[in-house]
């Protein structure tokens, strides 16, 4: 019996994230209110996920994917808040549930991508904190770094 390749095991979580977002994108594209808007940042997200699948040595694609995902959480949250009442009459519950599922999936995806990045390289952990190069000359002179 042949052991699975370690490279395939590393790619498996990103492939699962890709498939989950692809299904949610299909469901969201059924909503007439946000089709073109959603397609742009989801395509960017898919490109960065594909890049992260192929480039396992660098954490840059994961950082781009996390930032695109965080921005899309803001966009989809604003769409959910400002959804027109007239559209909600016929298929509103489907649209609302789909957007809420997408938001929950994006939150889970952001955390998962962050954990994958930490497993690959510790540099992703510094993505949300200030860099050590931001010490001003006054702080350096005072020795407060």
DSSP of 32-68: TTSHHHHHHHHHHHHHHHHHHHH--S-SHHHHHHHHH
Neighbours of 130 (CB within 10 A): 8
Averaged confidence pLDDT in the chain: 76
Helix runs in the chain, H state only: 6-28, 35-54, 60-81, 88-120, 137-142
At 31, list the tokens: 């909503």
List the one residue out of 15, 28, 106 whose CA is nearest residue 69. Answer: 106
Q: pLDDT at residue 133 above 60?
A: no
Q: pLDDT at residue 138 above 60?
A: no
Highest mean pLDDT among 9-18, 48-57, 67-76: 67-76
* Residue that wins the pLDDT comparison between 90 and 120: 120
List the one residue out of 65, 70, 72, 68 whose CA is nearest residue 51. Answer: 65
Q: In the chain, what are the domain boundaries?
A: 30-123
Q: What is the pTM of this model?
A: 0.71
């Amino acid at each position: 019996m042949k052991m699975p390749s370690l490279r395939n095991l590393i790619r498996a979580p990103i492939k699962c994230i890709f498939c989950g977002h692809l299904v949610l994108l299909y469901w969201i594209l059924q909503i007439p209110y946000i089709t073109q808007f959603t397609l742009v940042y989801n395509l960017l997200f898919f490109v960065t996920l594909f890049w992260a699948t192929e480039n396992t040595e660098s954490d840059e694609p994961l950082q781009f994917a996390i930032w695109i995902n965080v921005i899309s959480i803001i966009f989809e949250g604003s769409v959910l808040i400002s959804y027109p009442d007239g559209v909600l009459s016929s298929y509103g519950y489907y649209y609302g549930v789909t957007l809420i599922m997408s938001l929950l999936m994006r939150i889970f995806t952001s955390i998962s991508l962050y954990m994958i990045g930490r497993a690959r390289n510790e540099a992703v952990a510094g993505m949300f904190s200030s860099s050590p190069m931001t010490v001003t000359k006054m702080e350096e002179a005072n020795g407060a770094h």
